[in-house]
């Protein structure tokens, strides 16, 4: 079953907002993604938000060390509880990404 754009209006809206944000920013892609990760921590975002953004970060060469650097940099502002929660969500996000990859791999074998 093929999904049409009419089937995903919220995702389409989010994609459009993200594209406009990227276009309006003067930051390079790496800086932009690190700022977005910091914002996820600040708003106490769910794991799925990290899945999407960490995936983009990995694609453009941002490694775990850079993400840890962001967490360390913002810790005095957002507090230890937010950093602990974000770290748990990042671990959950990595687990979710692995599960999705395994599902994709098992679907390829059929």
Amino acid 5: pLDDT: 55
Amino acid 83: pLDDT: 97
19-42 tens-digit pLDDT: 899 899 999 999 999 999 999 999
Structure tokens, 8: 């995903």
Along the 110 residues of the chain, how does pLDDT read in single tens digits? 455 556 889 988 988 898 899 899 999 999 999 999 999 999 999 998 998 899 889 999 999 999 999 999 999 999 999 999 999 999 999 998 899 888 888 776 65
Q: Are 51 and 92 in contact (CB under 8 A)?
A: no
Structure tokens, 34: 């690190």
Q: Is the dihedral of CA 9, 32, 89, 80 positive or negative?
A: negative
Amino acid 4: pLDDT: 59
User: Which pTM was predicted?
Assistant: 0.81
* C-alpha to C-alpha distance for 83 and 10, rounded to whole angstroms: 28
* C-alpha to C-alpha distance for 96 and 94, rounded to whole angstroms: 5
Amino acid 73: pLDDT: 98
Amino acid 7: pLDDT: 82
Q: Are 41 and 68 in contact (CB under 8 A)?
A: no
């Amino acid at each position: 079953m093929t999904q049409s754009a009419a089937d995903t209006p919220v995702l389409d809206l989010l994609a459009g907002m993200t594209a406009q944000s990227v276009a309006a920013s003067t930051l390079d892609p790496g800086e932009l993604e690190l700022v977005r990760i910091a914002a996820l921590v600040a708003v106490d975002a769910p794991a799925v938000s990290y899945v999407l953004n960490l995936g983009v970060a990995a694609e453009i060469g941002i490694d775990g060390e850079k993400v840890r650097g962001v967490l360390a940099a913002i810790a005095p502002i957002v507090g230890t509880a937010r950093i602990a929660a974000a770290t748990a969500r990042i671990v959950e996000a990595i687990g979710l990404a692995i599960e999705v990859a395994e599902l994709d791999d098992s679907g390829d074998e059929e």
